[in-house]
């Protein structure tokens, strides 16, 4: 197909549609497991340090994929290997996600399952990205890549996400059956909608296998690819900038709901806000590709980085303004309620006490406390320890009315900010990833796409190691998660500086690719 015919063609080919459908298939993992539902479940089971362990688990998984990416990419460039490796990692992700649903009784085993599922997800995406050069032309890459993200948002991220939310709302967010369902649906959806890709997408650009395809030859090829990237100043600057700004993007996806949960924001409200992200992201991903075509990919990416920097500033303020009120509330709760009832021995009284202690995450704790009380038999209700819990809780509410009101107001304000951020993220999240992928794909040799995407992936994955570690380490060190978010601003600023300072080289590289 000539360049002119490629541009004029409007309909996607079967190969292009099958490639796009894998975004539809795997995006449910990004939403339910990485971003929205599972992090809140994990944090609620793992306890106060849940978001810290979540950050470390994410870093371990992405570090392992990052280390292996260049080697896997070099092997996958040989004829017939790319599809096999893609299938292995995709199935690893599906099976490990299924495993999570079987071990909901242990947060440690859940973390292990998450690490392996994330390795499978990230590894399959490495080969999926590189298949972009096999299914379409340079002129159509921005369009095909952006439609991949768009279909992922409207299909994989929205339809099963809404089903999961509906089940959680109907059965109750803390209901084990609802939680297990929200994880199992990921495995089923991911596997079923990967079938078109497995059937129709094939590797068309490759390196022929020879007798000299030894391990040493593979490492020599990796070295040559690294030299080629460093030799082209524009390409190196783009990959370096990508390392920093995609770090922030990936970290925001990974820690947003865990961050909100630690701050005491309502789980259902946060998940609904992230649903807005998916809905907004679908059309914006396509519009972003059109914008890149009009003003150049570099300028479009710079604009997205600026938006993300602003989002991080809002996220920092959201936590920074809320944390003092949260600390004051929890101090009062401990002193005037939980410590006063630390010596309880009756199981029913202990259950009532714990229901009241969840007040800072459940505004209707009084109703829940009453509901728990009504479940008791008359004899159980007349237990002196039960009366003591109700009296202590009432006194706690009365003695700390001002503290409680200020905390509730802070939570309400921060929830509004979370919704605003979710909407803003939707405008740029898909676009910045899609255009980065297609921009890189147009600049590299097609027969060595896996090697180059292996290095592209290692920059992105090591960035995903750095971001969660910064968030978790600074949050643990300062005792305030908001300062962990503040560190992400620096990552976007570094990416912005490189993209701006390297304007001449990057613009020359982009115009050269179009020549």
Q: Residue 36 belongs to a domain with what CATH number?
A: 1.20.1250.20
Q: Give the number of other Cβ atoms within 10 Å of residue 2's Cβ.
A: 9
| End residue of a domain, out of 346, 369, 404 | 404
**Residues 446 and 509 placed together within one structural domain of the fold:** yes
Residue 9 lies in a domain: no
For the residues 169-180, what does the mean pLDDT come to? 88
**Residues 316 and 340 placed together within one structural domain of the fold:** no
pLDDT in tens, 318-327: 888 888 988 8
Please enumerate in sequence order all residues whose Cβ is within 8 A of that of 176, keeping only pairs 6 or more positions apart, or say none. Answer: 104
Residue 7 lies in a domain: no
**Residues 398 and 466 placed together within one structural domain of the fold:** no
For the residues 475-502, what does the mean pLDDT come to? 88
CA 480 vs. chain centroid, Å, equals: 21
- Which pLDDT belongs to residue 165? 86
What is the domain range of residue 396? 336-404
SS3 state of residue 1: coil
**Residues 141 and 243 placed together within one structural domain of the fold:** yes
* Count of structural domains, the chain: 2
| Nearest 10 degrees: Cα torsion 473, 478, 484, 485 | 170
Cα distances from 456 to residues 68, 167, 236, in angstroms, run 12, 38, 10
**Residues 421 and 455 placed together within one structural domain of the fold:** yes
**Residues 318 and 386 placed together within one structural domain of the fold:** no
Residue 28 lies in a domain: yes
**Residues 279 and 367 placed together within one structural domain of the fold:** no
**Residues 184 and 310 placed together within one structural domain of the fold:** yes
| End residue of a domain, out of 362, 384, 404 | 404
pTM, entire model: 0.71
pLDDT in tens, 46-60: 877 777 788 788 878
Residue 329 lies in a domain: no
**Residues 247 and 395 placed together within one structural domain of the fold:** no
Identity of the highest mean pLDDT range in 160-174, 182-196, 217-231: 182-196
Residue 367 burial class via C-beta count within 10 angstroms: exposed 0-12, middle 13-18, buried 19 and up: exposed
CA 182 vs. chain centroid, Å, equals: 16
Q: Let me know how long the chain is.
A: 515
pLDDT in tens, 432-441: 988 888 878 7
Cα 90 from Cα 192, distance rounded (Å)? 12
Residue 415 lies in a domain: yes
**Residues 242 and 286 placed together within one structural domain of the fold:** yes
**Residues 79 and 171 placed together within one structural domain of the fold:** yes
**Residues 149 and 291 placed together within one structural domain of the fold:** yes
Cα-flanking dihedrals φ and ψ of residue 443, to 5°? -100, -5
């Amino acid at each position: 197909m000539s360049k002119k015919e490629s541009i004029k063609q409007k309909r996607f080919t079967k190969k292009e549609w099958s490639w796009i459908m894998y975004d539809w298939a795997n995006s449910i993992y990004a939403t339910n497991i990485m971003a929205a539902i599972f992090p809140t479940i994990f944090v609620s089971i793992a306890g106060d340090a849940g978001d810290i362990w979540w950050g470390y688990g994410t870093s371990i998984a992405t570090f392992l994929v990052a280390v292996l990416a260049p080697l896997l990419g070099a092997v996958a460039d040989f004829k017939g290997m790319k599809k096999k490796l893609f299938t292995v990692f995709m199935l690893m992700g599906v099976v490990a996600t299924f495993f999570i649903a079987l071990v909901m009784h242990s947060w440690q085993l859940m973390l292990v399952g998450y690490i392996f599922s994330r390795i499978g997800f990230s590894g399959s995406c490495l080969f999926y990205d590189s298949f972009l050069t096999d299914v379409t032309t340079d002129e159509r890459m921005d369009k095909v890549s952006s439609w991949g993200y768009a279909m992922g948002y409207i299909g994989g991220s929205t339809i099963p996400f809404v089903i999961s939310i509906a089940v959680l709302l109907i059965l109750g967010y803390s209901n084990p059956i609802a939680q297990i369902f929200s994880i199992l649906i990921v495995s089923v959806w991911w596997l079923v909608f990967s079938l078109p890709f497995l059937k129709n997408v094939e590797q068309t650009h490759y390196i022929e296998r020879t007798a000299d395809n030894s391990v040493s030859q593979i490492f020599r090829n990796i070295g040559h690819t690294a030299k080629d990237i460093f030799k082209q100043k524009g390409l190196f600057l783009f990959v370096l900038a990508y390392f920093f700004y995609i770090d922030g993007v990936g970290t925001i996806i990974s820690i947003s709901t865990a961050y909100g949960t630690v701050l005491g924001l309502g789980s259902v409200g946060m998940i609904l806000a992230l649903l807005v992200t998916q809905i907004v992201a679908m059309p914006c991903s396509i519009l972003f590709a059109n914008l890149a075509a009009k003003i150049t990919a570099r300028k479009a990416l710079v604009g997205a980085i600026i938006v993300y920097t602003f989002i991080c500033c809002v996220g920092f303020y959201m936590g920074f303004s809320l944390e003092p009120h949260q600390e004051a509330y929890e101090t009062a709760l401990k002193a005037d309620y939980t410590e006063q009832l630390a010596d309880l021995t009756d199981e029913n009284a202990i259950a009532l006490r714990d229901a009241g202690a969840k007040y800072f995450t459940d505004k209707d704790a009084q109703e829940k406390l009453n509901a728990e009380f009504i479940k008791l038999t008359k004899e159980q209700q007349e237990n002196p320890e039960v009366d003591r819990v109700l009296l202590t809780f009432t006194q706690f509410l009365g003695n700390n009315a001002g503290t409680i009101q200020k905390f509730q107001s802070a939570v309400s304000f921060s929830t509004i900010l979370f919704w605003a951020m979710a909407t803003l993220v939707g405008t740029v999240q898909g676009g910045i990833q899609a255009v980065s992928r297609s921009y890189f794909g147009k600049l590299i040799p097609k027969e060595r796409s896996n090697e180059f995407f292996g290095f592209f992936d290692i920059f992105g994955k090591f960035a995903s190691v750095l971001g969660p570690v910064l968030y978790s380490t600074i949050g643990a060190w300062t005792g305030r998660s908001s300062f962990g978010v503040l560190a992400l601003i620096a990552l976007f600023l570094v990416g912005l500086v490189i993209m701006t300072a390297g304007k001449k080289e990057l613009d020359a590289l982009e115009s050269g690719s179009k020549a």
